[in-house]
Amino acid sequence: MNTIDRFHSWRRKLRWDKQYKSGRWDLLKDESESVRYLTISEHIRTYGISNPDILALGCGEAILLDYLLPEDYNLFYGVDFSAISIEKAIKKQHFKAQFETNDVQLFEPRQKFDIIIFNEIFYYIMDSKKKPVLEVMKSYLNPNGIIIVSMFRERPECWDFFQRKDLHSVDFKTVESEVSDKYWKIGVFSKKLQD
């Protein structure tokens, strides 16, 4: 990343920290959000291998873990650039979970994963970094692994990044909450075997 991008990313990180500190993102614990986490947790069980190593990018406070049982995964590795959100995630003391404070645009995993999750994060990645981040993450996905992506409302310009020759769409649906106009599109992608 060049210096200007790093500066913008640092400013965004500070904004997220401030918002997590003020409790603004407590709204993610609302009942109306649960359908999103439930759908993702079902996708993990349905499409993931058993006992997977999971990488959650932009994991925030790791609310998703509240929807998983310890037997649903071998490792849950959460990454977020907001140190405040990671502190909150660590405090939960979830079994088999590890966390790292890092910018997903700079993050280089130290191992391969069976499931990589972009849960309400992909649209925050700088446009120039969306493709490279996906490339890096795809290279750390095990051959039979899956990528799960959730995005609030319509994000056609973001979903285009997942229309790739080397990715196969396994599941894609709109998930609605009880609140009017509050819905998500959630997709599951696997690596396509090259010809």
Tell me which residues touch ligand SAM (CB under 6 A): 9, 16, 28, 58-60, 63, 80-82, 85, 103-105, 119-121, 124-125
Beta carbon nearer to ligand SAM, 107 or 189: 107
**Nearest CA-CA partner of 67 in 99, 42, 95, 31:** 42
Least distance to ligand SAM from the beta carbon of 165, Å?
A: 26
Taking the least distance from each CB to ligand SAM, the nearer of 91 and 165 is 91
In the bound complex, what is the minimum distance in angstroms from residue 145's beta carbon to ligand SAM? 19
3-state secondary structure of 147: strand
Question: CA nearest 175: which of 155, 158, 152, 156?
Answer: 152
50 vs 98, beta carbon nearer ligand SAM:
98
Contact between residue 155 and residue 184 where contact means Cβ atoms under 8 Å apart: no
Contact 138, 181 (CB under 8 A): no
Nearer to ligand SAM, 149 or 167 (CB): 149
Percent of the chain that is helix, strand, coil (3-state, to 5): 45, 30, 30
Least Å from the CB of residue 143 to ligand SAM: 25
The residue among 124 and 140 lying less far from ligand SAM, judged by its C-beta, is 124
Helix/strand number for the chain, H first, E second = 5, 7
CB of 57 to ligand SAM, least distance (A): 7
- Strand partners for 116: 55, 147
Residue 135 bridge partners (DSSP): none
Smallest distance, Å, CB 125 to ligand SAM?
A: 6
Distance between CA 121 and CA 160 in Å, rounded? 15
47 vs 124, which CB is nearer to ligand SAM? 124
Write down the least CB distance from residue 44 to ligand SAM, Å.
Answer: 14
